[in-house]
Amino acid sequence: MKRLLPYILIVFGGFIYSIGLNAFIAGNGLAEGGFVGISLVLFYKFHIIVGLSFFIFNIPVLIIGWRFFGKSFIVKTMVGVISVSIFSVLTNHIGQNVHDRLLAALYGGVICGAGLGLIFRSGGTTGGVDILARIARHFKGYSLGRVLFASDVIVISLVALILGKEVAMYSLVALFVSSRMIDFVIEGVQSSRAAIIISDVYEKIADRIHSEMGRGTTFMHGQGGFTGAEKNVIYCVVARDEVIRLKQLVHEVDDQAFVVVNDVYEVLGEGFTR
């Protein structure tokens, strides 16, 4: 069952993505990035079924990807591609004209992002430009983010030329919301904070963190870049609502302590998510 769970989630993610795509994006004449965006343009202009053209575009990409990235990655990607292709056809009748393209872009971005987030979190992709970006990184060293961003710019520019600037602008809103929703699904909702504390009385601070907050600490050895003096550094992860108490505690022990607090989106281990 554990082996099947990622594939079940990928299929479910494809279903959710297809609902957002048909109900709000295609249902209100908007577009997406990547191969889906091209498929939507073909649908608007030539009435070619989105799921069919999306699947055909992915066939050569999947063949190339199989050669470079191996069976496990491509099998999950194939499940994602097939799920989106099939469900986008089965749900193509649920378009919802909300009479406000901004709302359609927001709703579509949230739902599509939730579906894609499930697919990505389960180790799959929806193929297309994602595989091409990985191949570009393999041969040319280009970053995934740059290639994906460049592809979205190209597709949205195509949308602007063919469907109009207004459609392109609303589509950009949907893409932005979708990307944030993907991050939200992948990174989780229980964000924590990591604190780096530098103080000459580090042991006293650590003792109070242990006894009063019930949190663990890790000592790291450092050296001042300007003074060359040896320093002991405390590393500690706390819940978001514990940050104020942590800073107060440090200030009470050493008001000259140097404290840096960073966002942490997922923590595995005792006291946090297992």
CATH number, domain with residue 196: 3.30.70.120
List strands edge to edge, sheet with 192-198: 218-223, 230-239, 192-198, 258-264
Task: Assess whether pLDDT exceeds 90 at residue 17.
Answer: yes
Residue 217 has what pLDDT?
94
Q: In the structure encoding, which two tokens stand for residue 126, read together?
A: 């929806």
Residue 28 is predicted with a pLDDT of 92
Distance, CA of 60 to CA of 154 (rounded, Å): 20
Q: What does the mean pLDDT of the chain come to?
A: 88
Output DSSP code: residue 27. G
Among 129, 157, 187, the domain-final residue is 187
Residues 106 and 223 in one domain: no
Q: Write the CB contacts of 192 (distance below 8 Å, at least 6 apart in sequence).
A: 237, 238, 239, 240, 264, 265, 267, 272
Tens of pLDDT, residue by residue over 221-261, are 988 888 888 888 999 999 887 899 999 999 999 999 999 99
- Facing residues of 237 across strands? 194
Find the mean pLDDT for residues 141-157.
78
Number of domains observed in the structure of the chain: 2
Asked if the structure places residue 204 within a domain, the reply is yes
Residue with tokens 């600490």: 217
Same-domain check for residues 121 and 70:
yes
| Predicted pLDDT of residue 11 | 96
Q: Is the pTM of this model over 0.85?
A: no
Distance CA 12, CA 263 (A): 30
Instruction: Give the model confidence (pLDDT) of 182-208 as tens digits.
Output: 888 877 666 688 999 999 999 999 999
pLDDT band at 53 (very low <50, low <70, confident <90, very high): very high
Do 155 and 222 belong to one domain? Answer: no
CB atoms within 10 A of CB 227: 8
Question: Are residues 39 and 175 both part of a single domain?
Answer: yes
